[in-house]
Chain A
Amino acid sequence: MGGMKNLFRGFIGMAIYMTTTMLIPALSFDYVDKMEISIPPTGQILDIEIAKGGIAVVIFWLVALGLTISGLAFFTWSSPKDSRRKVVFSILLVFANCFYLWSYKFSGATAFGIQIPGLGRVTLDFVGMVLLYLGAYTLIIVAKIWKLIEVEFGKRKEKKEEKVFVPESTFGKDGGAL
């Protein structure tokens, strides 16, 4: 029964990660790529350029690494609380998230170019923000490793207590001392 509960939790986790790492970003990039903003009064189109026109590369990496992250999220969320496998897979999940985040950079999704008619071109580069997030993820990895050590010590303590605990009765069924 607990196994089913775990699996249900895993599927919820997977759905959350699929939505946040694949569906929403892919739809957003697709929308921004196709978006046409006309500037009054001339009605000229404001051209927003993502990944130097190579939106397919961005979508490929979003889906590829999003699938990996979703699989790891399923494993992590379905694992029992305070278990070694939950902590180990949550560390792997953070590593996968690092790859995912960096994929925004190398696929070109962090660089936005906006051509404003009559004024010139504006380029926005979010790579500094990605580096900031990568730094934050490093701290999360350190915290997770600490958690793994904590869980490991907890398990050892539990094993020691099991050895000390004597579940059998000291006396026999007939009342005589053993």
Chain B
Amino acid sequence: MIIQVDILRMIAEFIGVVFYYSRAVLSPIGEVMKLWIEFLLQFFPHNIPADYNFYIILFVVLLISGVIINYHWPGEKKEVKEKEKKEVEVSAKNCKYCGKPIGDSEFCPYCGSKN
């Protein structure tokens, strides 16, 4: 139990030190961020009590568009291309007799021997 408390205290102190020293750099950047966030928030609908319509519509639109886009473009194109490339590489063989490349043909175009 005492060890656990010590570990927790160490973690808390470590986080405290990180926050303390990064404050000088990060807080002014945060102040700049605050400016544009406050400007943009004026345009957000915020009728209280609870008018969630805009946010629910936004959520549903993102969800449906995500499903549709992933259905049409699942991102497998690259893998298929790599497979095709490998198949072509395997089929590009050399002649057994003269060692020159013959592609996927049965006869060597250089020595005429059957492979």
A-side residues, CB < 8 A to B, are 1-3, 5-7, 10, 14, 56-57, 60-61, 63-65, 67-68, 70-72, 74-75, 78-81, 83, 85, 98-99, 102, 106, 128-139, 158, 162, 165, 167, 169-177
Contact = CB atoms under 8 A, between A and B. Distances in A.
B4 interface: no
Contact of A135 (B26, B78, B101, B106): B26
B33 A138 contact: yes
B31 A131 contact: yes
Given A67-B52, A132-B27, A167-B84, A98 B106 contact: no
4 nearest A-B residue pairs (beta carbon): A80-B75, A135-B26, A175-B107, A71-B62
B interface bracket (residues with beta carbon within 8 Å of A): 35 or more
Contact of B25 (A72, A85, A135, A175): A135
Nearest to B19: A132
A14 B66 CA distance: 12
Contacts of B27: 128, 131-132, 135
A169 B33 contact: no
A166 to B, nearest CB: 9
Nearest to A158: B78
A71 B66 CA distance: 9
A162 B81 CA distance: 10
B108 A175 contact: yes
B85 A165 contact: yes
B22 A132 contact: yes
A81 B61 CA distance: 22
Contacts of A173: 104-106
Given A60-B48, A68-B59, A102-B37, A169 B85 contact: no
